[in-house]
Structure 1
Amino acid sequence: MHAKDRIGAGPWYNAKGALVAANLTELHERYGDHTVFLDEKGEMVPGQWAGSPTPNQHDVLTGTARDGTVVLGQTCADWTSEDPAMTAQVGHSDGLGPNMSDAEMYRPWNSVHVNGNCGDTAPKGGNGRVYCFAAD
């Protein structure tokens, strides 16, 4: 099932109560932003932004294309596998690439590249993070 079909119609807020997106269109058109896409404690996720702590952990497991549809075979077996031969689609919570690049290809929060290893997400800038969407 596609993520956009499971997460409701919005609006969505981050852990500090700031509006992330009012509806599905806004959510999936949005770019990553280290001041908005926070962890569950309201902290900024280490990434490529200036002054970020290390290591980079901005890769977030989504398994989705830019429009919120599933990328078949890129969900670590529906998030149940740590098999190093399996991969997952990830987005960038900070919307940045190497050397703080804000090139279009690095900006989406939900779909930037494939993480090469479901057993260890760290090598390409991950920490096994996922987004949780909760209804009011």
Structure 2
Amino acid sequence: MPGFISRMCFGLIATISVVVIAAQPAQAQSADTSFFVTSKGIGNGGNLGGLAGADNQCQTLAQAAGAGAKTWHAYLSTQAADGQPAINARDRIGKGPWQNSKGVVIAKDVTELHSANNINKATALDEKGDPVNGYGDTPNTHDILTGSQPDGTAFAGTEDRTCKNWTSSTQGAAMLGHSDLNGPASNPTVKSWNAAHTSRGPDGGCSQKDLISTGGAGRLYCFAVN
């Protein structure tokens, strides 16, 4: 009888341990994670709720992955409109260095990020440490919303490149980057991580359907600013 009770207790403890482990949320694979690609978009095309909504998406996903102690901002620019000045993506992401959930440094500072960074399919991981589907994968979701020029600054003029400063899910267009630095050979900017091409589609360019049609999902680059 004592042996039977011991076996029952051992089995119960093992079962409880498995349940506890399974119930724990996915954690970022490095406590020093300071860069990731969102594992999913907000789901409303280019309408992110402005910069605040995009930043909240980064913060929420980072929190779920165990990196919520940092302050996270989305790598997005906005254009001058309604009396408000443009905002450059490069000016709102901190000073660096930044590393992914595996501990791989993708850039040591803002200058390197916009010149010789280490962003590619192997390093542009999501907050869970998973790779992002790229060109040739099904589905391809390598289009990342940026609204930025190659140097990380906002576009001048009135031609929309930010889905109306991230408030439109119908008309407009957003500049997109390729997280895998890959795409059709006919596109001369295919290897740009932040300015590969603009969004387009039958709904006007900024719907979720439009983003999906060119190989996206409304994903964002997220950077820890502290």
TM-score normalised to structure 1 length = 0.86
Cα RMSD after superposing both structures: 2.0
Could you list the runs of 5+ residues in structure 2 that have no partner in the other structure? Answer: 1-86
Letter in 2 for 1:4: R
8 Å CA contact 1:71, 1:89 repeated in 2 = no
Q: CA deviation at 1:20?
A: 0.7
The answer to whether the 8 Å contact 1:38/1:45 transfers is yes
Give the letter aligned to residue 110 of structure 2: L
Please, which of 117, 126, 130 is the counterpart of residue 43 of structure 1?
130
* Equivalent position SS for 1:105: coil
Unaligned runs of 5+ residues in structure 1 are none
Partners of 1:63 and 1:90 within 8 A in 2: yes
Ranges of 4+ aligned residues in structure 1 off by more than 4 Å:
none
* Structure number with higher helix proportion: 2
1:132 aligns to what SS in structure 2? Answer: strand
> Kindly, what percent of the aligned residue pairs are identical?
45
Partner of 1:66, secondary structure, is coil
Higher gyration radius (CA):
2
Distance 1:32 1:124, change over 3 A: farther
**Deviations, residues 109-136 of structure 1 (Å, cap 9, x unaligned):** 1111101121121000001001111123
Aligned to 1:63: 147
Residue by residue over 1:21-70, the C-alpha shift from the partner in whole angstroms, topping out at 9 and shown as x without a partner, is 00111111237410011112111111126xx4x11110000000000001
Equivalent residues in 2 for 1:67-106, closer than 5 Å: 67-72=151-156, 73-83=160-170, 85-98=171-184, 101=185, 105-106=189-190
Deviations 1:61-93 (Å, cap 9, x if unpaired)? 00000000012521112222212x211000000
